[in-house]
Amino acid sequence: MEFTFKHNNFNVLNLDESVTFYKKALGLLEERRVSPPDGSFTIVFLGDGRTGHQLELTWLRDRTEPYELGDNEIHLAMCVEDMDAARKMHGEMGCICYENKAMGIYFIEDPDGYWIEIIPKKK
């Protein structure tokens, strides 16, 4: 029996803001969108265009309070070839929330407070 990764889910308060953030910060693009006729929720699947893994953003119409994210020990990780350029862009966006220079990694924070780890691609 084999299992493969499909997607991770983040629930968000402002879907448009989140989709814009992930496009600008990580280059993720919308691959599909699901909404029932009653408009009670919308799910947007974002992809990197290179792997099959997706980020599922779920917006719930009746949700008005921010999500409780705990200590943010659960996070998404992305790798990048040009760490310096990524660090510069994220610095200009003001979304870097934690750096571990000894490990050569940093984290960015999305509009809902989710952390995304940025790591250099191994060569």
Residue among 17, 30, 99, 117 flagged as catalytic: 117
Instruction: Mark whether 17 is an active-site residue.
Output: no
Q: Report which DSSP code applies to 64.
A: -
Length of the chain: 123
Identity of the residue numbered 117: E
Give strand pairing partners of 100.
105
- From edge to edge, which strands make up the β-sheet containing 29-34? 7-12, 54-60, 41-47, 29-34
Q: Which residues are catalytic?
A: 117
